[in-house]
Amino acid sequence: MLAAHFVRKRYGHGELLFSEGDPCRGLYIIESGKLRIFKSSPNGREQVLAVEGPGGSVAELPVFDGGPYPASASTVEDSQILFVSRPDLRSFCLQHPEVALKMLAVVGARLRRLVGIIEELSFTTVRQRLVAALVRLAQATGKQTDRGIEFELAGTHQEMAHQLGTVRELVSRNLMRLQAEGLLDVEARSIVVLDMPGLSALLEANP
Amino acid sequence: MLAAHFVRKRYGHGELLFSEGDPCRGLYIIESGKLRIFKSSPNGREQVLAVEGPGGSVAELPVFDGGPYPASASTVEDSQILFVSRPDLRSFCLQHPEVALKMLAVVGARLRRLVGIIEELSFTTVRQRLVAALVRLAQATGKQTDRGIEFELAGTHQEMAHQLGTVRELVSRNLMRLQAEGLLDVEARSIVVLDMPGLSALLEANP
DNA sequence: TCACCGCTGCGACTTAAGTCACTCGCCCGG
DNA sequence: CCGGGCGAGTGACTTAAGTCGCAGCGGTGA
């Protein structure tokens, strides 16, 4: 039905789909692989806004408000991406209102996550953000073993830092500190949570 | 056409429309007055996400994704608000797809502003955020006088702090510091920008 | 096999941010 | 006219955050 206007394309890992400020041409839908949406600062800092996997989409927003992309997007691994041009999507939504509502729901979910990031940035310390990320990873990908809950970090410390809105050293240091406190066992990129209750407790209190 | 389902209501200043976490009942449209949308932390800190004036709307998002309100909203001054219930809005959008697209544009604009907040929070200092806010105010409401560009702060230092994601003292101190540097003339809530180029320059450099 | 490079682990240091505890001035109501 | 309360200014201090520089480790490719 929309046949003619889809474009399917392969990307290698680390390829840039678009940069913030670029005029918006259309919507990207992930068939396979993984994308990250991020802001970068002149000083080389980065803040990841979202990581999307298969089924996810990127740049739903500027398709509708006509402005430029507010952030950049790049692949994290080899990916297959479907591209839908802006005019096609608009007319499709006009013909199928329920699709427009779906889009609203997707955008809504994204908005929710952004609010969450703002909350973390303005109310919590790097340490707490790191702990929160670890707990999320443990729940999502962790395996219960005799030593504790075991899992791998999703990328380098540098990449973690980008997601937490900080720098590499702080990730490294805070991991070491959590280990020193007996909550974790860290071996480069693989983590064993020794004391999950103790870890979660850090999310509540302020000191 | 939708006549029966509108509710018009008056609010005094500082009244709470809803709190984060509340289940979403519907959309609020501002006829007159001013609203602020904000997150608050257990420690009494607040982060303002948006301030909306007449014609603006609040809570477009959760109406469509079905989740709870992600933040709280309160009036800043006496306001007259129109309320549209969730089901009404949904069915209206289904009948008038172009309205759904408009909603997407509105949500898009909001998303853009949130991304801007995230950028500021993770890449800039309190000082820079304050300067950025002053420059915005000067452009929006400032009057050119013989001494410079003159305008009033929008609320107390405490409220400024909430908008910048920091605490009162830092607003106060940074204003004094800018004055000491000869860029501003501060008299409680009224500001005179003496050196606009010098002020804007602080937005670029890192030191 | 060796050189290089990316990732990680520190230590030492600087600075922004936030906290605490007061003082002062102004306005408003009793 | 006086007292209370709020907003603002400020000094002293603590701590989180970030910067710089470097050393060690492990894998990859020439």
Write out residues 55-84 of B within 8 Å (CB-CB) of A.
Answer: 61-62, 64-67, 70-71
- Other CB atoms closer than 10 Å to residue B148's CB: what's the count? 18
pLDDT at A3: 47
Task: Measure the CA–CA gap between A140 and B139, rounded to whole angstroms.
Answer: 47
Q: What is the pLDDT of residue B144?
A: 93
The closest nt to A165, taking CA to C1', is D17
What pLDDT sits at residue A206? Answer: 56
> What residues in B contact A109, CB-CB < 8 Å?
65
- Per-residue b/e over A43-82, b at no fewer than 16 CB within 10 Å? eeebbbbbbbeeebbbbbbbbbbebebbbbbbbbeebebe
Q: In this predicted structure, what is the pLDDT of residue A29?
A: 94
In chain A, the largest separation of any two C-alpha atoms, in whole Å, equals: 59
Across the interface, which of B71, B105, B115 has its CB nearest the CB of A70?
B115
Q: What share of chain A is helix, strand, coil (3-state, %, to 5)?
A: 45, 25, 30
Instruction: Report pLDDT for B66.
Output: 81
Residues B118, A119: C-beta atoms closer than 8 Å: no
Q: How many CB atoms lie within 10 A of CB B99?
A: 15
Domains of chain B: 3-123 (2.60.120.10), 126-204 (1.10.10.10)
How many Cβ atoms from other residues are within 10 Å of residue B205's Cβ? 8
The distance of A147 to chain B (nearest Cα, Å) reads 34
CA distance B115 to B117: 5
| B131 in Cβ contact with B164 (< 8 Å) | no
Question: CA B192 to CA B179: how far, in whole Å?
Answer: 10
b/e for A156-169, b at 16 or more Cβ within 10 A?
ebebbbbbbbbbee
Number of H helices, E strands in chain A: 7, 12
The pLDDT tens digits along chain B (207 residues) read 544 578 999 998 888 999 999 998 889 999 999 999 999 998 889 999 999 999 999 988 877 788 899 999 999 988 999 999 888 888 888 888 888 888 888 888 899 999 999 999 999 999 999 999 999 999 999 999 998 999 999 899 999 999 999 999 999 999 999 999 999 999 878 999 999 999 999 988 654
| Strand C near-CB residues (< 7 Å), B 120-179 | 125-127, 165-167, 169-170
Amino acid at A88: D
- Cβ within 7 Å of strand C: which of A 175-194? 175-176, 186, 188-189
pLDDT score for B2: 46
Could you give the C-alpha distances from B98 to A96, B30, B83, B102, B144, in angstroms and in order? 11, 21, 21, 6, 42
Residue that is written with structure tokens 């389902």 in the block: B5
Task: Round and report the angstrom distance from CA (A2) to C1' (D24).
Answer: 56
Q: Tell me the ipTM for this assembly.
A: 0.92
Distance B174 CA to D21 C1' (A): 32
Chain A residues in contact with B125 (beta carbon < 8 A): none
- Interchain CB contact of A113 with B (< 8 Å): no
Percent over 70 (pLDDT), chain A: 96
Distance (Å) from CA A169 to C1' C11? Answer: 12
Tokens 């609040």: give the residue. B58
Given a cut of 50, the residues of chain A with pLDDT beneath it are 2-3, 207
pLDDT in tens, A122-144: 999 999 999 999 999 999 999 99
Q: What residues of chain B, 160 to 199, have a C-beta less than 8 Å from chain A? A: 165
- Residue B61: how many other CB atoms lie within 10 Å: 27
Q: For residue A205, what pLDDT is reported?
A: 63
Output the pLDDT for position A112: 93
Query: In this predicted structure, what is the pLDDT of residue B99?
Result: 83
